Every structure is written in structure tokens, then in C-alpha cells.
A and B are shown apart, each in its own frame.
Chain A
């Protein structure tokens, strides 16, 4: 027990904390500039000087640890003089331009000067001038205002792990700069921006438009860009979002955001937003009233169901919509129209991966906490870069490395490059080969005694490739050996699975290998999720074989529950999945479709096929916020309200239920659930819903995993399902692994002049939605083709050249960008930009085991674009 006295108040603690923390505990305020929430103390600003008895000079409270019997004074005359002097020194070079500085009103230096500072400085010398940099698309750097507290540098290095900025020069000429000296060219997370105590690093998005006292309202909501579900605060003035700031107290992200969350909010005010419902009349989409659109849709659906039966109707749900929206869509399709044909873009990766892993280990196997990753001592990543797909989860992985843990990445290391010791960057298509070797070695070394005979049997059936094969796919034996050795030592490992494990074939085997590795290591599984509510979309039964709460359609008990609650019967049999719907539309068995917040034409490969399939439909209704590629084919288009305009709940990848709150009032669209409820009502649904809460109440009555969850109780970090629910589904016997006993094949290397194309997930963009965000487009405005420099050279192409990518299915134009992280013979293109998306130029087949997307036709030629 340590006892100290601060300003005559006695403080007792059993930990060695700093004087600053001790003072905070008893409510004594010591002014600081350079200490910041999660950062280590640096003691550079000297604002926190305190007097300690028997020490001749004042000491910095943020760095001095308390010792027993210490007597500290924070408010003596000498300390007041010291504070005054420190502020006078800080203001030698700091300009007094508060009236035009964006930070004024929430500037710590300003507050401290008002409280402790002198009225005027005594330095008559001129201020040193440092340049203001406007070169960056989203961040303004005014180094004249910088007080060199290095909070931004420490945030970038210690928390974000991007190492993009640093203090350059010396003495009073010091300033903070990125490597280029101009543009940051970093991850653009903007966390330096919220760390800056003065106006040195500010956002360009609301530059000069904003004063803290202009804010009329602020709401706490959830980011709508990826599956992490960071808590954000939206600040509004007159119905427009002025800015988005992180919340340091609430939320699982503890104040960290990524570029999409912080800057990508402005798409909601894009001028191309749909403003009124549209109906196709004489081949043209014309604006109509809400009543007309709803009645027309209901009439058409009713007519088609009467003519062809319920099985001719299908619905596509979306991971971008809330749980309530998705629930209402499945209610329309299943219970009002009588069809089990409902699926979503989760089919492309997340749903098959999660349900396969759940079949191996039981429901909820991937429900692990993101903040918990930081407590792990080793992370194994395969099939995707967490720092670009789920950036804030990626930060947690980096923090493992920061604490001395190990990080292993199979495939392109991307944003984790500086955190790994050895690259395991294998040739395209050799993932299973590498994983099999690692799993076999770990299994052997760990002397693992399995309790699961099914997995055990499969493990012993695996054929282990020899080292020669692995060397041929470009992996060094040293790296493999290191990985296997270190993995065995881990006490609390984490396994992260990305989309590439499934997208390019061998899906079931890759998932089995990773699942088994996790089982052998006794780790925690995470499956990356690129949309905010893909998991919720599944929980709401937007999947052909699964009802609300993740119950299989075949379970009769659930059907009764639904019947008792809503008086509606569950249709029999499993419905069609996303691909079967497209095929059905093509062959004519599907006649009508309702697409909510999804863009299948752009997001499912083989654009031409999907497009022609949707054109063959007798009736296509779309609700979306923009006139997307799919919406422009529709017969009826409903303008939906965007993420910042609606209430509801999101379920993130760790199955945390969080509340989305309405920030701006939407004059343009209505919430999807409202649109769907109106249609249901017109088709004879009995229930009526007044608000989101009434929809949620119904969900919590019906769904076993959400039972007992009250809408009002979802505050702060929300809660992880199941609450007080019924038991989850366990393991259901054997599962299939395709090609388990086969020796993984060596991939066929591409012929010269031809390159294998992969999908690239850009950090800046969240699939195709972010192309409507001016800020994000400012950072990354053109499609990039990432390619190995050696391959580029062999094709006669150089960096920053405009190239045409041609495949059997189509062409795309992109800017070539040499990237050493890409294996030779492989290029990557993102699926973001209009007309130039990756998925539009490849084909697909359906994985027989997983029923998931298997992208084919990836061999392309790359040529220099003709000069315009």
C-alpha cells in the first residue's frame, strides 16, 4: 500500500501509478498537454509540473511514479509561476490566430492559457514560420501551430502502428512531417487528428465551417462501413453532419477510427441520392408518389404469386441494412409471399465460411471479442488483410506485435508487413499447400490429444506436402519452420480468416485446415466481415436454409413459434441461394425479385450474366440510396434512408448488438423496414409497426438468440448474443471436406503475358458505397491495379501507367501500381469503381460443398491503354 499526500489530501493505492493518475483519483486537476488517453507518458510539454517535498526542482506529474510518503503540491505559488512560464514558452512560436483556427473552443492550449497563462508574452522576437501544407486531400497540417507534444507521432506509432509521421529537424525548427514532406500517403486513419491538442493537424472536410459551439445536436451511433462496428459521434448543425468524431469512453474501438469511418460519412449528402420513388413507365424510370409505388409493388407481387406460386419470388437482403430491415424483408418474402428464396451478399464469403466453421465446432464459434485480440500472444492470419478489410481489428492485431506477440500471415502481408518476421507469400493457388504443412507440423509437435473424433480422423487423413513443393510456390523453409515452431509455443492464439480462403476455390479445405489449426492451437476464431451487418443479416434469417435466430428451416418447433406469434406459416423446403436465384431468373423459374440495399450486378461476378438474368424478370423492385447498376434495371425503385438517417441495430462480426441512431433527418428516403412494412400491409399483413422498437420487439419474441433483449437496453457497447436465450446449436455430426485426402496440387503458373487477377480490398474504400464519398474519392480516386514490379517489367509496363485489363468476361481500365507484396504473375484490382470493378470482368462457379462463390476466369492480359 502506497500512501501519498497531494495538496493535503491523502491518497492510497496499491499500484505504482504516476502522480497525475493519483491526483485524478482524488479529483485534483493537473493541467497537461502531452498526455493523452491511451498513450504512454512522454513528459515533453512540462505543463504538469508539481512540487514534491524534499526534491529541489519541480517534477512532471505525468512521468514520476508515486512512492510511499511522498508529499506533492500542485497549487503553490511557484507552480502557478511555472505554469505561466511554460505557457509563455509554448506561445513563443504559436500563432495567436484563434479566431480563424478550427480548433478554437476545444483547444487545450487555449483553455490552459485562459486559466493559467499570462495576459501577454514578453518575447519581442518574431515567430518562426513553418509552412502550412494543404497538399493532402483530407488532412491539413499547420506546423506553425504545432507545440511538439508528439501526441500525433505516438498515436501513429504506438496505437495505429502506421509509422507515417515523425518529428524532423531539431530544436525550435522541429516539426511533424510524413515521409514525403507533403501528402501523408498513409492509412489516413486520422487518429493523429483527434490526438492533436491544438489546431496543427485538422480535417480538411469541415475546415473553416465549424466551431464547437455551432453544434446543435450530437448522436452516438455505429459506423456503417465494415463489420467491426466502431462507435462514432455524429455532430450536426441544421440537419447536416458537420463532422464525425470517435468516442473515447464508449465503444469497442476506444477512440480509434479508420479512414472510412472518420472521413467517409459524406456520401449521405451526395447529390445523386434518390429523392422519390421511381416506377418504370414506357421503359423510363419516372418519379411517382410513395403510395403509388407501394401499391404498384404490392399489386405486382400479388399477381405474380397468384400466377406462378410463391416459389417464383425471391429476395436479396443486405449486410448494409439494419437487423430490422432484414427481418422485414424475410417476413415479406417468407411469410407474406410464401417463399424461402431469400439470400444476401453474405453468400459470397461470410455466410458459407461461418456456417462451415459452425458445423465443425457449433454455433457461435466465431463470436470472440475484438478488444480481446490485444491480449493474445500470437495471431495467425490467412486469406485477407485485416488492416484493410476491418481496419480497427487490424489495429488490435498490430497491438499484439507491439506487446511482443507474434504475427503470422499466409499470403500477402499488406498492412501487417512491419509486424511479421517472415513472409509466407506463396504463389497464387498454393494456400492449401502451405496451410496443410503448417497444420501437420503443429499437430505433430503439439502432441495434441483430440476429443473430437471427426476432426481427428480427417487430420490423420491429410497428406503432407514435402518441402520441395513449398519452395516451388515461393515459400522459404526457414519461414515455415519458424511459423510452426512459434505457433506451438503460443498460449492464447488468435486465428483470423479472410475472404480469399473461400473466393478462389478449395474453400472447404482451406476452412477445414484453418478451423483445425485453431482447434489444435486452442485459439479464437475471427472471420473478417466487410459489411456492417452481414452477421445480423444471417441472424435475421436472410438465408435460404435458416430462419430468424439461425434456426434451420427443417426445425418444426420454430415454425410453430412464428405461427403463434405472427400467425403466419413458414414455407416448406429450403429456398434458393443467391446463385440459384440468378440461374432461376435466367431460366425463367424466378419471376419477381425484391433487392434491398444490394447491387448484385456489380457485386456478383459475370456482370453480363447477372444483368441479363435480372432483365428477364417480370418484376424487379429495388430499394437503395443511389441509382445503382441494379436499381437502373428495376421496375420500381424505392429511395431508402442512408446509414446516418435511420434507427436500428447492427450485429458486428463478434455478434455484438449495437444501436444505430438517427442523426440527420431524411427528407429523401424512408427506412427499408418501413417501405417493406408498407408493402406487407398492402398485401394483408396484420401487424402494424410504429417504429423500429416495435419491429425489434417482434424479433426478440421470435428469435432464440435475441430473446429477452430489449431495444432500450442496447446502450453503450451493446451486448453479445445470446443474452438469456435458448441453447445454441451444437455440432451436427460429420461434415464434408472436398479433396481432403488429395495432395494439394501445385498451381499452374500463368503463361507469359497473362496474369492471374485477384480482388484487392482497398483500405480507403468500403466496396462500392464509398465511391459516392467525395472525401474518400479524394484520397483514392482511380482504380488501381496492384502488381509485382518484376511482372510489370516483364510486361513492359511501368508504375503509374494507365492499363487495360482484358479477361474472357470483360475489360477494365486502371492505373498500374507496382507492389512488392504481390507474388509474381499476380495482379489485384478492387471492386469499387464504376465500370472498372474486379467482379465485372471475372466469371464464377459455385463451390459444391460450401455453396459459395468460386471466382473463375481470372487469367487476364494487361496492356497499356491507348492515349486518348
Chain B
């Protein structure tokens, strides 16, 4: 996890200034600047929010609210690989909760948590549009469908 340093904050500040040029309002530049912050710090750290607030003038509390609203942003330190598992109706019926249980047993992963070795993080997702092939998940940027415990196992083994 990259440390929060003044140099890194300076880089962030520069990038936000660039982004603000591209958008009609300061608020609009928030979402892309979150991605920048994630790129630099690995997650949206409080210091990064403070810096974004300083530059854009949007209150820090509000920025935190926006960042926590979207599931795609990491508001706390996350593992190297992120498992985004759907538990909505179709996936639930096809046994998504069993998979959650399984992940907990095997890797000690709780929803929203990270494995002690920092390899995986588990995020419970709302529907990802793969209901026909439920249960489904997104691992980092790849989507996997028709999951079973075995398949999940082999898949995870390939992500070091």
C-alpha cells in the first residue's frame, strides 16, 4: 500500500487541476479524481479527500459521502485482487450465499474484508446483469459465470 506523502499529494493535486479543466463544474470532476486517488494511494484515503476538497472547494464530508455511495470506489485499503460477488435474487437462488460461506471458510474472507495476506478482498455486489448464468462474479476486471465451489477454487488459485 503506497504511503501518503506530501509528494504523492502534490501529484494528486496536479492531476485534479487537469481534470477540473475538462469538466463543466468542480463537482463533476470528483468521480474521475477518485480514480486518480485510487491509482496513487491504492484507495481513497482521508488525506486524499482532504486534498480533493482543498482543490475543488467541495466540502470534505460531502466528498466522503459521494465516494462511499459508489461500490466501485475503494474507501479503505483493499487486497491485490477484488472479488465482486453478486448476491441478488438469481445468484442467491443459485447459491451465491453458499459461495460467501465457502470464501469465509477457506480464505477467512468476510464481505467487505480482506485476507490477512492482502491477496483478496470480497465485495458484495448488486446485480451485474448475469442472471441467466448465475451465480456470477467480477474478479478484478474479468467476469465469471456459472460459479461453483470447485470452479471458484481453481479460479482463485490462478490469481496470486
A–B direct touch in complex (beta carbons closer than 8 A): yes
Q: What residues of chain A have their CB less than 8 Å away from a CB belonging to chain B? A: 157, 163-170, 177-180, 418
Contact string, B56-70, partner A, CB cutoff 8 A, digits 1/0? 010111101100111
B65 and chain A: residue at smallest CB distance? A166
**Do A169 and B69 touch (CB < 8 A)?**
yes
Q: What separation, in Å, do the CA atoms of A105 and B98 have in the docked complex? A: 46
Which one of A157, A169, A170, A179 lies within 8 Å of B60 (CB-CB)? Answer: A179
Is B123 at the interface (CB under 8 A from chain A)?
no
**Do A179 and B61 touch (CB < 8 A)?**
yes
Give the interface SS of chain A, mostly helix, strand, loop or mixed: mixed
Q: What separation, in Å, do the CA atoms of A222 and B151 have in the docked complex? A: 72
Q: What separation, in Å, do the CA atoms of A164 and B70 have in the docked complex? A: 20
Report A-chain residues with C-beta under 8 Å of the C-beta of B62: 163, 166
Is B147 at the interface (CB under 8 A from chain A)?
no
B75 and chain A: residue at smallest CB distance? A168
Provide 13 A-B residue pairs closer than 8 Å at the C-beta atoms, listed in order of the A residue: A163-B61, A163-B62, A164-B59, A165-B61, A166-B61, A168-B69, A170-B68, A170-B71, A177-B61, A179-B46, A179-B59, A179-B61, A180-B46
Which one of B46, B57, B65, B71 lies within 8 Å of A418 (CB-CB)? Answer: B57
Report A-chain residues with C-beta under 8 Å of the C-beta of B59: 157, 163-164, 166, 179, 418
Is B49 at the interface (CB under 8 A from chain A)?
yes
Report A-chain residues with C-beta under 8 Å of the C-beta of B64: 166, 168, 177, 179
Contact string, B38-51, partner A, CB cutoff 8 A, digits 1/0? 00000000100100
Smallest CB separation, A201 vs chain B (Å): 14
Report B-chain residues with C-beta under 8 Å of the C-beta of A157: 59
A165 and chain B: residue at smallest CB distance? B61
Report B-chain residues with C-beta under 8 Å of the C-beta of A168: 64-65, 68-69
Smallest CB separation, B7 vs chain A (Å): 15
Other 7 A-B pairs with CB < 8 A, given A166-B59, A180-B46: A163-B61, A166-B62, A166-B64, A168-B69, A177-B61, A178-B61, A418-B59
Closest 8 CB pairs of A and B: A163-B59, A166-B65, A166-B61, A168-B68, A179-B61, A179-B60, A166-B62, A168-B65
Smallest CB separation, B57 vs chain A (Å): 6
Smallest CB separation, B34 vs chain A (Å): 14
Smallest CB separation, B62 vs chain A (Å): 5
Report A-chain residues with C-beta under 8 Å of the C-beta of B61: 163-166, 177-179
Beta-carbon contacts under 8 Å, B97-119 to A: none
Smallest CB separation, B25 vs chain A (Å): 15
Give the interface SS of chain B, mostly helix, strand, loop or mixed: helix
Smallest CB separation, B126 vs chain A (Å): 9
Q: What separation, in Å, do the CA atoms of A80 and B62 have in the docked complex? A: 36
Q: What separation, in Å, do the CA atoms of A157 and B62 have in the docked complex? A: 10
Q: What separation, in Å, do the CA atoms of A169 and B68 have in the docked complex? A: 5
B57 and chain A: residue at smallest CB distance? A418
Report B-chain residues with C-beta under 8 Å of the C-beta of A418: 57, 59
Smallest CB separation, B137 vs chain A (Å): 20
Report A-chain residues with C-beta under 8 Å of the C-beta of B71: 170
Smallest CB separation, B60 vs chain A (Å): 4
B49 and chain A: residue at smallest CB distance? A179
Smallest CB separation, B128 vs chain A (Å): 16
Q: What separation, in Å, do the CA atoms of A418 and B59 have in the docked complex? A: 9
Which one of A170, A178, A180 lies within 8 Å of B69 (CB-CB)? Answer: A170
Beta-carbon contacts under 8 Å, B69-107 to A: 69-71
Q: What separation, in Å, do the CA atoms of A169 and B64 have in the docked complex? A: 9
Report B-chain residues with C-beta under 8 Å of the C-beta of A164: 59, 61
> Which of A163, A165, A179, A418: most chain B CB closer than 10 A?
A179
Q: What separation, in Å, do the CA atoms of A168 and B70 have in the docked complex? A: 10
> Which of A164, A167, A180: most chain B CB closer than 10 A?
A167
Report A-chain residues with C-beta under 8 Å of the C-beta of B65: 166-168
Q: What separation, in Å, do the CA atoms of A177 and B71 have in the docked complex? A: 18
Smallest CB separation, B87 vs chain A (Å): 13
B66 and chain A: residue at smallest CB distance? A166
Smallest CB separation, B125 vs chain A (Å): 12
Smallest CB separation, A794 vs chain B (Å): 16
Smallest CB separation, A164 vs chain B (Å): 6
> Which of A157, A166, A167, A180: most chain B CB closer than 10 A?
A166
Q: What separation, in Å, do the CA atoms of A165 and B61 have in the docked complex? A: 6
Report A-chain residues with C-beta under 8 Å of the C-beta of B70: 170
Q: What separation, in Å, do the CA atoms of A180 and B64 have in the docked complex? A: 9
Report A-chain residues with C-beta under 8 Å of the C-beta of B46: 179-180
Report A-chain residues with C-beta under 8 Å of the C-beta of B57: 418
Smallest CB separation, B35 vs chain A (Å): 19
Report B-chain residues with C-beta under 8 Å of the C-beta of A179: 46, 49, 59-61, 64
